[in-house]
């Protein structure tokens, strides 16, 4: 939470902390926004800055150019530095700790000289179906489309020439960390989306490594998968320091100095768990952004293999069941921007935040089942429902009640519909117990509305804390701060005693009317899924 700038005492203390370098900096590269957050030693936000960007299709793959990665990071850091100077009248020359987070998984491949071999293939890709089928059969664990090993193996199956030259594979967070520190390290949460993890040893599963070697022997790649992957590290482990080259990458002006200690880089799922203090069994969090996922910390590993459930880890290496939907609030955002354009044609100027709040509040006046309106937010393919390419689609029944309130209600329920399908497997077939879930992301800045809809959708109490809008960059800064305490306590103890001790949150229970309405909406949603499948077929003709 931002602290009141009128507090002269705080301003003085903050300026001293910035000057002394007793701060931590978290940077997260999300799907549509890069964000940097500077915090003091108590995890209070001192300054933040953002940079907007978008993925693009390159050779049939969702991608971001690495040049854009650095343009975004440098611009974001420059804005942060300007804000620090403006607020506290001191330059940002150093920090004590740093951490890098980014969208999980995907495929970044480099040769022995560190040259990128093919454009970055992101989590959004659904081009690895053949590889996933073979790997699931071989490993007897779910391997989602977006996992790095799936991309690597699919490249082999496709006969791509670059495969024989691969000498390092990593994720986006691992790549940025490598360039800033020189260390090829990855936090266990992000690493668990590259290759299956062995919970006891907290490194890559040795049996799966052997099986992958046997499976790929015919391709004669000459190096084992375990030699290509970054070293796995858990929260609090030393992960290198900012080098002179890294400091220059961040800040071309030369003001920012090297030497900050890094924590292991993590994926946005790991920072989401940290930012919501949801890293203990029977808890979890729901993160809403361009993608949407729920992370449920397990008391014990689940028994069966489900294509809808990923098995990953908390930043400390505890088992997590992840229900990952490729599509989150991006289609809802597009509709809000369309309404903003309509207002502009009438000469009306309304900020996106104000418009979002107004429209979300209007949704509460709609029918609990959406009034016969159905929204598919499938900008990309959606593996959970077997949709390969995805097409945003809005449908209404002949007898629907077509008005703005029901439209917004259907849009909001459409954001959570696919998540519910995956969660039903965990709570139904596996009997996973969940006491409550913590939600975070910009959608929850508007009080109550999205939170209540999510509670009704999942039939589970949903909590939203004061830092719900801060997101993963703040969570990454918190993980960086934990480095100072790694020899004294576990991450959970640190979060409880140092970060969330005075945290206030609101908890909303499911309402019977809302739960029944969502069940009807979901039935309609499922019944019209063949329309998405038909669009998939047309897109391949």
**Per residue in 69-79, pLDDT tens?**
999 999 999 99
Q: What is the pTM of this model?
A: 0.84
Tokens of 317: 């290496």
> Using CA atoms, how far apart are residues 487 and 222, in angstroms rounded to an integer?
40
Tokens of 259: 């030497």
Q: Is 75 exposed, middle or buried (0-12, 13-18, 19+ CB in 10 A)?
A: middle
- The stretch 363-373 carries a mean pLDDT of 96
Task: Identify which of 354, 252, 246, 337 has the alpha carbon closest to the alpha carbon of residue 25.
Answer: 246
Give the model's pLDDT for residue 21: 94
Task: Identify which of 191, 210, 200 has the alpha carbon closest to the alpha carbon of residue 104.
Answer: 191
> Using CA atoms, how far apart are residues 525 and 159, in angstroms rounded to an integer?
39
Residue 362 DSSP SS3: helix
Q: Which of 57-66, 88-97, 112-121, 499-508 has the lowest mean pLDDT?
A: 499-508
Report the chain's mean pLDDT, rounded to a whole number. Answer: 92
Give the model's pLDDT for residue 5: 47
Q: Report which of residues 445 and 340 the model is more confident about.
A: 340
Give the model's pLDDT for residue 303: 81
81 - beta bridge partners?
none
Give the model's pLDDT for residue 503: 76
Residue recorded with tokens 């400091």: 247
> Using CA atoms, how far apart are residues 77 and 251, in angstroms rounded to an integer?
7
Q: How far is CA 492 from CA 26, 236, 255, in A?
A: 19, 12, 35
Contact 417, 521 (CB under 8 A): yes
Span 221-279, pLDDT tens digits? 889 999 999 999 999 999 999 999 999 999 999 999 999 999 999 998 899 889 888 89
Q: Which of 254-268, 298-312, 348-362 has the lowest mean pLDDT?
A: 298-312
Give the model's pLDDT for residue 36: 97
Helix axes 206-215, 129-139, angle to 10 degrees: 130
């Amino acid at each position: 939470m931002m602290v009141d700038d009128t507090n002269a005492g705080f301003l003085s203390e903050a300026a001293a902390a910035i000057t002394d370098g007793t701060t931590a900096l978290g940077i997260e590269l999300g799907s549509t926004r890069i964000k940097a957050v500077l915090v003091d030693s108590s995890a209070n936000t001192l300054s933040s800055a953002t940079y907007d960007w978008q993925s693009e299709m390159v050779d049939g793959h969702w991608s971001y150019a690495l040049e854009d990665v650095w343009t975004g990071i440098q611009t974001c850091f420059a804005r942060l530095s300007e804000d620090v100077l403006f607020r506290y009248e001191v330059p940002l020359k150093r920090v004590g700790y740093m951490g890098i987070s980014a969208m999980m998984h995907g495929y970044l491949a480099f040769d022995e000289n560190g040259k990128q071999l093919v454009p970055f293939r992101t989590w959004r890709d659904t081009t690895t179906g053949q590889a996933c089928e073979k790997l699931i059969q071989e490993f007897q664990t779910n391997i989602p489309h977006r996992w790095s090993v799936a991309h690597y193996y699919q490249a082999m199956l496709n006969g791509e020439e670059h495969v024989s030259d691969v000498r390092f594979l990593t994720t986006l967070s691992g790549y940025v960390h490598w360039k800033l520190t020189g260390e090829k390290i990855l936090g266990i949460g992000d690493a668990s989306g590259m290759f299956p993890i062995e919970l006891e040893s907290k490194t890559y599963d040795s049996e799966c490594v052997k099986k992958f070697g046997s499976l790929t022997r015919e391709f004669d790649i000459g190096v084992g998968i375990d030699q290509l992957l970054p070293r796995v590290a858990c929260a609090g482990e030393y992960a290198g320091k900012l080098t002179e080259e890294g400091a220059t990458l961040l800040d071309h002006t030369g003001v920012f100095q090297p030497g900050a200690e890094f924590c292991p880089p993590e994926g946005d799922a790991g920072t989401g768990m940290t930012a919501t203090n949801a890293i203990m069994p029977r808890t979890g969090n729901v993160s809403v952004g361009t993608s949407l996922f729920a992370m449920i910390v397990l008391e014990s590993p689940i028994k069966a293999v489900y294509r809808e459930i990923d098995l990953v880890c908390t930043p400390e290496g505890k088992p997590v069941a992840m229900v990952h939907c490729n599509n989150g609030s991006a289609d809802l955002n597009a509709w809000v921007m369309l309404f903003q354009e309509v207002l502009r044609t009438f000469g009306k100027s309304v900020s996106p935040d104000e418009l979002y709040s107004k429209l979300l509040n209007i949704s509460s006046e709609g029918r609990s089942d959406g009034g016969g309106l159905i929204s598919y937010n499938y900008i990309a393919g959606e593996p959970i429902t077997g949709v390969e390419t995805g097409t945003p689609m809005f449908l209404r029944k002949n007898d629907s009640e077509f008005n703005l309130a029901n439209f917004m209600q259907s849009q909001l329920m459409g954001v959570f519909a696919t998540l519910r399908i995956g969660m039903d497997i965990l709570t139904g077939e596996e009997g996973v117990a969940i006491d409550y879930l913590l939600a975070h992301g910009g959608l929850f800045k508007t009080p109550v509305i999205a939170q209540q809809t999510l509670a009704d959708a999942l039939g589970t109490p949903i909590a939203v804390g004061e830092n719900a809008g801060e997101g993963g960059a703040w969570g990454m800064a918190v993980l960086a701060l934990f480095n100072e305490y790694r020899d004294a306590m576990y991450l959970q103890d640190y979060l409880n005693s140092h970060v969330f001790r005075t945290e206030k949150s609101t908890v909303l229970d499911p309402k019977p009317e809302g739960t029944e309405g969502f069940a009807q909406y979901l039935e309609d949603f499922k019944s019209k899924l063949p329309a998405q499948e038909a669009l998939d077929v047309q897109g391949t003709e």
